[in-house]
Structures are given as C-alpha cells and as structure tokens.
Structure 1
Amino acid sequence: MSIPNTELYSQIKKKLTKFKPKIISLPEFKQSAVLMLLIPVKNSFHLVFTTRSRHIHSHQGQMSFPGGRFDSSYDDDLQETALRETGEEIGVNSNHIEIIGQLNDLPITSGYIISPFVGLYQGEIPVTYSLNPVEVADLVEIPIDFFLQQPLFQDKIDFEFTYQGFKAMSIFVDYINPKNKKTYHIWGATAHITAEFFKICFDHHLTKPEYSRPPLDLIIEYLSNRSKH
C-alpha cells in the first residue's frame, strides 16, 4: 500500500523516533497499553477512536483507543498488548500495522499505567473493521486536521479527580461526525494522550499552560488509602 502524503508521514515518524518516552513501572499499578492507529486517507491520516461498551467493568461508554491490560500469557511486552487488543477489539490484524513510536506512560487514578503506542495501518483501504460488541460499542475515524485546527481543548476544573486539595483539570473536545451528525466526547486520559501526540509530532499545543495531571506520588497515596477501605 502506498502511503499518501509521505512528507507528513515522514514528519510524524521522525518526531516519534527522536522522542524518548517516560516509562513507568511500579508495583502499585497494573500495566496496560493502547494503540493510536493512523489510517491513510487521501493526503492525510485519520485517528481511530472507540466507544467502550457498557458490558465492561470500568470506564463504560467512554471514548478510548483500542487497548487493554497486559497479559503475560499472551504478551511479551506492552507493544504486543496494544496490537493484540487492537485485533481483539476492532479486528485489525497486527500484520497490517507498523509501530512508529511510543508516547509517555500515563498513570491514572483507577490504578493503571497506560502505555500509548502509535501505529500506521498498512492494509487495504478502506479498512474493514470487526467490532467486538463485548468491549466496543462504536468506532469513529477522526481526521488529524480536526485536531490541528483546534485552538485548545476545553477544560473543566474538579471534573476528573479531587484529592488532598488537588483538583485535576480534565480536558475535552467534542467531534461531530459529518456522516451521521453524532457527537463524540473525548476527555480525560484519551484527550491527554491525543494532545501529547499533537504536541510531539506537530508542536501544536491543545492544552493551556496551567493544565496538569495528578502527580504520581499523589495517585500512589490515593490508591494506597483506597485499598484500606
């Protein structure tokens, strides 16, 4: 498959190759991985987002990237987790995906560390998806131009996490699918990972300077106290 706009692809891959992600591995957290899947479309790329099923244990109905928990029975590393989960959730075979980079590990207050990988789809276009209804309720491809045209993600204080006087600023953006007019609400960790991708690859800042995630030591303290109750 020929890659449209090879200059854009080269820019993304060059930026990600140079980027050195922050890796976090701590016993207080479970390891997980997600895949930001780039789909070549005309002269650009789309990013694949999913809506989590109501049948799963956590974050039901929220927007996410394909991914899940590391399973040593199947995965040698977290990259394999991201690829395996992508195949299981949306039916895209790992043989058709080139991993081109990794972003910073992201600890979240549910007790997971998310390792985000970026991959390029190299199979036949248009892509054929096969959604696992147990895990995925919906899927949408969003053009990267949509995010590049956004001046800033919106934010809301005291929306995602409040602990020991710290109030997390949760960022979000709404995408209206022009095909069916459905609104997709992207927020929290998924919005954070998206914003980081565009900052690294395009120097496009989608968050305000004062935006911050909960610090690692505070999350660890929160998890420790939660486990005692």
Structure 2
Amino acid sequence: MKRPAITQPQLVPVTSVDDHLPAVPDLALTASAVRARLAAVAAWTPEFAGDGGLFADREPAGAAVLVPLVQREAGLNLLLTRRTDHLRDHAGQISFPGGRVEPEDDGPVGTALRETEEEIGLSRQHIEIIGQLPVYSTVTAFQVTPVVGLVEPEFTLKLDDFEVAEAFEVPLAFLMNPAHHRHHRFEFAGAERRFMSMPWQGPEREYFIWGATAAMLRNFYRLLSDA
C-alpha cells in the first residue's frame, strides 16, 4: 500500500472551499445547453485526471459509469446511488451506476448502460447518450469513462439490493456551484491524500459525495463553466 486508506472521509479536515468560483449559470444547465456543450468539445484536459498513486500493483482495467441527468420540470437532477455497507470495495459510498467493461460490451457506452440496468433497473430506452467526459484513473487501477445521458422522467427503478442501498437525485445546479466544493487533506505515517467533497443534505439524511465521484463532477463543472 502506497497511500493511507480513508475509511471516514467526512471526518477529514476541510482545507478550503471554492466559494470564490462562479456557479454555472442556469441557462447552461438545461438539457439542450449541456447537449450542445458536450457536442462542441472534441477533447479537453480535465482538472482531475485521477486519484494518484495505486494501492497495489494492478494491470489497468477499463470501466464506465453513467452520469444520468434526469429531466425534471424544475431542472436537471443527477441520479446517484449509495452502495450497500457490506461490499468489499466502496462500501456505503456515493457513486454513479457503472462498473468494469466486459468483452461483450459495445465500448464504454454499452458498459454504462448495461451496468445501470443491472444495478438500478433503469432501462436504456429512457436514456439519451449525449457525450463523454475524459477518462478518470482510480486508485484501484480502473480507467473509468464517464458517459453522460439525459434521462426521461417517467421511469421505475429496481435496485440490485446486494450492491445498491438506495438511489437518489441531487439538483445539478447544486453540484455545479463551487460554493459546495470542499477540499480535504489527510496525512498518516508520512503519506498524504487529498480529495474533494460535495455533501448534499437530502430530505432525510446527508449524502457525502466525495472521491472519484466528486472529482468527475468537478471536471463536469469545469467543462460547463468554460462554455
């Protein structure tokens, strides 16, 4: 292990908050505006390319996640999942639906759609794929492609209760406002880790969005804020 594990990220001190940065304007957060922005940018350099050093020497593996933007009357919401507490990896964490690329998948889009159907029962017939974000390298050696999709609001979810404890929505405008982007720094035995978080208070509980999920959302913010 080259870096200390973080088991209680919400307890790691906050070093700064990006409330000096502008929020993405509402007009840039409509379905048509996000679709146009993704179509207009062929390639770009993300703020966060990955987690950094690896916990173990592993061969890189492909993975993909869906960034599902639900088209509600009040605006776009991001659909996220909370992992079950008994999982060996990422127990209890907030994440996008997704997973490892399998040989039968038709690239990262196929992986993202298949995993979304398997994890939360969201059928691909409700999803319009509008683009991809840059590949993100995780500490566990996965090369993750975030696939952005617009989701029609008339859907029914069926969660895989072994992997997914719940699915919930967060207003995209909240996540695209840097006043909610917090930086954390953690040191242990001479090693250091830094990460971002975007905690969101839901109707009944707080959801601590952090790590790779927060980093990919920060990259999404940079793309939309540069429009």
- Compute the TM-score of the two structures, normalised by the length of structure 2: 0.75
Alignment of 1:183 with 2:206, yes or no, is yes
- The question of whether the paired residues in 2 share the 8 Å contact of 1:21 and 1:105 is answered with no
Residue 193 of structure 1 corresponds to 216
The Cα of 1:40 is off from its aligned counterpart by: 0.9
1:29 aligns with 2:60: yes
Distance 1:49 1:21, change over 3 A: farther
Amino acid at match of 1:200: L
Q: 1:71 aligns with which of 94, 102, 113?
A: 102
2:16 equivalent in structure 1: none
1:122 aligns with 2:152: yes
CA contact (8 A) 1:22 1:105 kept: no
Which residue number corresponds to residue 137 of structure 1?
165
Structure 1 counterpart of 2:87, one-letter code: I
Query: 1:133 & 1:22 partners in 2: Cα distance?
Result: 37
1:1-24 Cα shifts (integer Å, max 9, x gaps)? xxxx99822210111112234799
> Cα distance 1:201–1:166, how it changes in 2: closer, same or farther (>3 A)?
farther
Change (3 A) 1:21 1:63: farther
Q: For residue 103 of structure 1, what is the aligned residue in structure 2? A: 133
Aligned pair 1:51/2:74, yes or no? no
Look up the match of 1:225.
none
Preserved contact between residue 11 and residue 201 of structure 1 (Cα < 8 Å): no
For residue 40 of structure 2, the aligned residue among 18, 27, 40 is: 18
Over the aligned positions, Cα root-mean-square deviation in angstroms equals 2.7
Code of the residue aligned with 1:95 in structure 2: it is Q
| Counterpart code for 1:8 | T
| Greater relative CO, 1 or 2 (CA 8 Å, sep 6+) | 2
- On the 8 A contact 1:35/1:117 being kept in 2, the answer is yes
**Gap regions ≥5 residues in structure 2:** 1-26, 50-57
Query: Structure 1, unaligned stretches of length 5 or more?
Result: 205-229
Match of 1:169 in 2: 194
Percent identical: 34
Q: Deviations over 1:123-182 (max 9, x none)?
A: 62xx321111111011110011212344251111136xx89x87442000211113x2x0
Q: Is the 8 Å Cα contact of residues 121 and 157 (structure 2) preserved in structure 1?
A: yes
TM-score (norm 1): 0.75
Structure 1 residue ranges, 4+ long, deviating more than 6 angstroms after superposition: none
The residue type paired with residue 151 of structure 1 is A
Alignment match of 2:73 (pick from 42, 65, 82): 42
Q: Does 1:112 align with 2:134?
A: no
Deviation of 1:105 after TM superposition, in Å, equals 0.3
Offset of residue 43 of structure 1: 3.5
